[in-house]
Amino acid sequence: MADSTQDTLKHRGWVKKFTAMFCNKMLDRAERHDESKLHAPEKEMFDQVGESHPLGKSEFGSAEYAEGKKLLGPALDHHYAENDHHPQHFHDGIAGMNFYQLLEMYLDWHAASKRNKNGSIIQSVDHNIREFKIEPQLAAILMNTARLDSQEESDDSQN
């Protein structure tokens, strides 16, 4: 009888190697995330608009939130051009993204939901599914992940 142990161990080794490479790539992306907001021309615009329309203090998707985004126009245009975790970076939106960019986009949505009044990753994903016309299969994956993250956060807050 054949023994598949070595083949399975070799396969596991490859998965472990690729997982480490993936994590290192994501950590590098996290380290550089939104770097452009810390420099001209974005920083000045975010500072100025933040005085009168702080996006983090308004409810995501509200008229006040939309007004703040409108005032940030040129800064957001620059931000989207410089940061490939935004669908607006690509002429074909999310379809132009790779998995690393997609994951950073989701994590960005999750982090942004934490700074908004009454923020929720589930609401954020739901809104962005419509906003970016995300295909049903990917929309379901994003929503499944949001529900899991939301449940885990709820469990953590109860402990």
Domain segments of the chain: what residues?
94-159
Cis peptide preceding 41, ω within 30 of 0: yes
Q: What separation, in Å, do the N-terminal and C-terminal C-alpha atoms of the chain show?
A: 50
Task: State the greatest distance between any 2 C-alpha atoms of the chain, in Å, as a whole number.
Answer: 74
Contact by Cβ (8 Å): 93, 87: yes
2 phi and psi, to 5 degrees? -75, 150
- 3-state SS assignment for residue 37: helix
> Does residue 79 carry a pLDDT above 90?
yes
The Cα–Cα gap between 22 and 19 comes to: 5
List pLDDT tens digits, range 83-109: 999 999 999 999 999 999 999 999 999
Please indicate, yes or no, whether the overall pTM of this predicted structure exceeds 0.85: yes
- 3-state SS assignment for residue 53: coil
> Does residue 14 carry a pLDDT above 70?
yes
Contact by Cβ (8 Å): 72, 49: yes
Contact by Cβ (8 Å): 101, 84: yes
**Tokens standing for residue 60:** 């995501």
List pLDDT tens digits, range 29-74: 999 999 999 999 999 999 988 777 766 677 887 888 888 888 999 9
Task: Give the single-character DSSP code of 36.
Answer: G
Residue type, 133: K
